Structure 1
C-alpha cells in the first residue's frame, strides 16, 4: 500500500528519480537524532546533467526555477532512500539552502530557489514550509546552475 506522501506524489504526477550515488568523499544523508541532513543535490536527471551554466549569462529565471525543482526532486529521492522508502516519516522540512551559479549582477537567487521551496510545499503541505537561504555562487560542481541541500525533521 502506498503511503500518504507516495499518494500525493502520484496525484501531482511526480515520479522521483533514483537517488544518485555520491561523486566525491561524502555520504548523501546523515541522521542525528530526529534530523536528517541531506547533502547538496544538483541537476541530475536519469543520470544526466541538466541545466548547466550561469543565471544572468545564458540561463533565464524560469530555467533556473526548473533546475531548483529538479534539485528538490533529488532531495526527495535521497530522503526516501535514507528513510527506507517511507517519506511519510518526514515530519517537517526544516531548512533548504540553495546555491545559484550566477553572475555578480544577478539578484534573483530567491526566485530561483523558489523552484525547490514550492515543490516541498506541494508535496508536504504545511510541513513543507521551511527556513531557507538562497545565495549566489561563482561556480558550482560540474558547472550546474543550481545546488540545493536540506535538513528534515523525521520520525522513527
Structure 2
C-alpha cells in the first residue's frame, strides 16, 4: 500500500470507482505530466447527493461537505490516471469550484474550502494549489457544487 492510500485509510476514506462521464467527454485527460480532471459532482456512495442551491435549500456547511465529496471523486479519477498509484502525484496544481448558489450568496470560497481542505489533508504540501471559487446560477442535475482539477504526476 502506498503512502497516499495509507493516508486515505487513516482518514477513513475509501475512494469510489471513478464516475463514468454522462456526455461526450472523458473523466480525465493526461498530457505530458499533467492530469486534467473533468468537473466532478458530489457522488456519495454511488448516489448524487447535495441537490439544491447553497444559501437556499442547503446551508454553506452542506455545500462544503458536497465540495469534500467532489474532491474524493477527483482523487478517484487521479488514481485511475496514475494506474492505481496515487504516490505518483507530485502536486495538485489547481482546483476550479462552481457553487450553485442563491443570487445574494457571498461565501463561495468557504464552500470550496471543503475540497481544498481535503486535498491538503490527504496530500500534505503536495496538495497546496491555486484555485477559483465562483457562483453559478445553476449546475447539472441541480447539484450544489462541481469542481475540476489539474494535477502534476511523475
* 2:147 corresponding residue in structure 1: 148
* 1:138 corresponding residue in structure 2: 137
Partner of 2:7: helix, strand, or coil?
A: helix
RMSD: 0.7
Partner of 2:102: helix, strand, or coil?
A: coil
Deviation digits for residues 22-63 of structure 1, max 9, x if unmatched?
001100010111110000000112321100000111110110
TM-score, length basis structure 2 = 0.98
* 1:119 corresponding residue in structure 2: 118
Partner of 2:51: helix, strand, or coil?
A: coil
Q: Name the CA distance, whole Å, in 1 between partners of 2:89 and 2:151.
A: 7
* 1:36 corresponding residue in structure 2: 35
* 2:53 corresponding residue in structure 1: 54
Q: Name the CA distance, whole Å, in 1 between partners of 2:98 and 2:137.
A: 10
Question: Do the aligned partners of 1:80 and 1:87 also contact (CA within 8 Å) in 2?
Answer: yes
Shift of 1:73: 0.2
* 1:16 corresponding residue in structure 2: 15
* 1:87 corresponding residue in structure 2: 86
TM-score, length basis structure 1 = 0.97
Structure 1 residues not aligned, in runs of 5+? none
Partner of 2:125: helix, strand, or coil?
A: helix
Question: Do the aligned partners of 1:18 and 1:46 also contact (CA within 8 Å) in 2?
Answer: no
- Taking the TM superposition and a 5 Å limit, the aligned residue runs for 1:103-118 are 103-118=102-117
